[in-house]
Amino acid sequence: MDNSELWLTLILFVYFLHMMVAGKHIPTTLEGPFKPVTHRFDPSFRKGSDDLPMNHPRLAKKVTSIFPEQIALALSTPTSMWVSWITGDAQIGPKVTPLDPSTVASEVWFGKKSGNYPFIQKGVASVYSQLYPFEGLLNYTSGIIHHVKLQGLEPNTRYYYKCGDSSLSAVSDEHVFETLPLPSPSTYPGRIAVVGDLGLTSNSTTTIDHLINNDPSMILMVGDLCYANQYLTTGDRGASCYSCAFPDAPIRETYQPRWDGWGRFMEPLTSRVPMMVIEGNHEIEPQAGGTTFKSYIERFAVPSDDSGSNGSFYYSFNAGGIHVIMLGAYVDYNNTGAQYAWLRKDLRQLDRSLTPWLVAAWHSPWYNSYSSHYQEFECMRQEMESLLYQYKVDIVFSGHVHAYERMNRVYNYTLDPCGPVYITVGDGGNIEKVDTDHADDPGKCPSNGDNIPEFGGICHLNISSGPGRGKFCWDKQPEWSALRESSFGHGILEVVNSTYALWTWHRNQDIYKENSHGDQIYIVRQPELCPTTFKSVSLSTG
């Protein structure tokens, strides 16, 4: 242990002592496994809210056509950063004419002092279209999407930047960001915000306002971003249940201007804090001819090349002493496929002496005790869980289920001190409302024919041990479910050192209460207690 590590440990000890003196005890995973706890939905709160209209001040376009908007950052490597933005006006109607990306340059000027930009980097631009050859459906073509990779940056350094096209005098205001530290067991980002299933509702607004107040240095967005596919192409009003509201739609429509509104909604945050995204089911957005994920692929820059991935659906990156793996639940995850081969190679190359913490994220949770999406992605778990366990993944974040749930350390549905801590945060505020029913509630256990995934097979299991043995659902809250509650909000991960990380769940209803939160725990690594040998999985299918 070096001096910086000792110093951080001392700080943590003093903090623990302060909390004890103050009468406040923050539990650690060393005290687990915990007895399952359920915080029932507070009926004084609404389960959901309507989407913000496109003329809402936070969604409306504030610049003229050629000026940059929807500015967003994304990590590439510890010494490089993506800057993305959009220029030009999107079009929607029966006939649309794509803009020419070559008419506007993709340039970023940056430096370490405000107003002084000695460096310039150029990038690439593109447009995409969402087309529907059905009568009455409107087509869409985007503005010009720019992606520029800033390279040669110094770690832990503040940079000021502008983006745009200097030849057209169409340049953004000055923005600022800070690079993250280099991989090291003693350096970590200040706060990592984790959000899922955000949407564009009044609850989404509360989530983002609350998140900004918590001053993150990075954001993990675990899928289902703007919910443009809860609309018809004509816009109008979104629906919490698409199939219920639009049963006669010839194809799953999507109102693409919601993506532009979402980019403007997020810009005050994403123009200064890097946001790392992974796709969810609401990003599939099928078009006639089998085209999918077009908006997601074109709008977001991710470090796929830097991490050896073959596309935007899965990748990895380092954030100080944390290695983060973003996996795709809606592309092939079988152990004979490209994603699995990439994951295995990525894990084999890890140097845990530099990045002690290993965090994984994907959209659809493997462990979930809610009725909604119960065992929906069991196939993915069966294919990949053993590999993640073998390489000692510490924490897994997912969304999809619109509620909060933190698990005890678990592997193959069995309490295991060497398993990851799985956390579901699929309740950023979207239009589909918060989930309140648990699979173990009387009459709420879904059937084997429910919860069919939008990608992949069906691998539902009956329970092989515990109170629900031989049944599809447990008779009570499963022992691997430590805490669950139905609320909107976001989480903050603060890694203290190579052993301790503080996880805090911030409920939206607590935004006006000082130091109030729905869940808080220190996640503690104990790699020396866990075997490095492979542990096989025994399955009991139902």
Annotation marks residue 39 as catalytic: no
Q: Are 41 and 434 in contact (CB under 8 A)?
A: yes
110 contacts 93 by C-beta, under 8 angstroms = no
Per-residue pLDDT tens digits for 405-454: 999 999 999 999 999 999 999 999 999 999 999 999 999 999 988 999 99
pLDDT at residue number 46: 75
Query: Which among 315, 258, 293 has a CA at the least distance from the CA of 82?
Result: 315
Of residues 322 and 463, more confidently modeled = 322
State the Cα–Cα distance between residues 188 and 183, nearest whole angstrom. 8
Of 489, 486, 483, the C-alpha closest to 511 is: 489
What confidence tens digit (pLDDT) does each residue in 151-168 have? 999 999 999 999 999 999
Residue type, 3: N
Q: Which of 146, 373, 460, 490 is catalytic?
A: 373
Confidence bin at 509 (pLDDT 50/70/90): confident
Lowest mean pLDDT: which of 45-54, 102-111, 253-262, 470-479? 45-54
Domain ranges of the chain: 38-524
Q: What is the pTM of this model?
A: 0.93
Residue 448: strand, helix, or coil = coil
Q: Around 62, how many Cα atoms within 13 Å sit in the side-chain half-sphere? A: 15
Tens-digit pLDDT profile for residues 5-58? 455 455 455 445 444 434 578 999 999 999 999 998 877 777 888 899 999 999
Q: Which segments of 355-399 does DSSP mark as H helices, in order?
A: 378-390
Phi/psi at 282 (5° precision): -75, -5
* Residues whose CB falls within 8 Å of the CB of residue 457, separated by 6 or more in sequence, listed in order: 379
* pLDDT tens digits, 169-210: 999 999 999 999 999 999 999 999 999 999 999 999 999 999
DSSP string, 3-26: HHHHHHHHHHHHHHHHHHHTT---
Please provide the DSSP assignment of 239-287 as one string. Answer: -SSHHHH-TT-SS----THHHHHHHHHHHHHHTTS-EEE---GGG----
How many CB atoms sit inside 10 A of residue 202's CB?
A: 17
Helix axes 257-270, 202-213, angle to 10 degrees: 20
CATH number for the domain whose boundaries are 38-524: 3.60.21.10
**Helices 338-348 and 378-390 meet at what angle, rounded to 10?**
20
Inform me whether the pLDDT recorded for 396 exceeds 60: yes
In this prediction, residues 92-106 reach a mean pLDDT of: 96
Buried b (16+ CB within 10 A) or exposed e, 437-447: bbbbbeeebbe
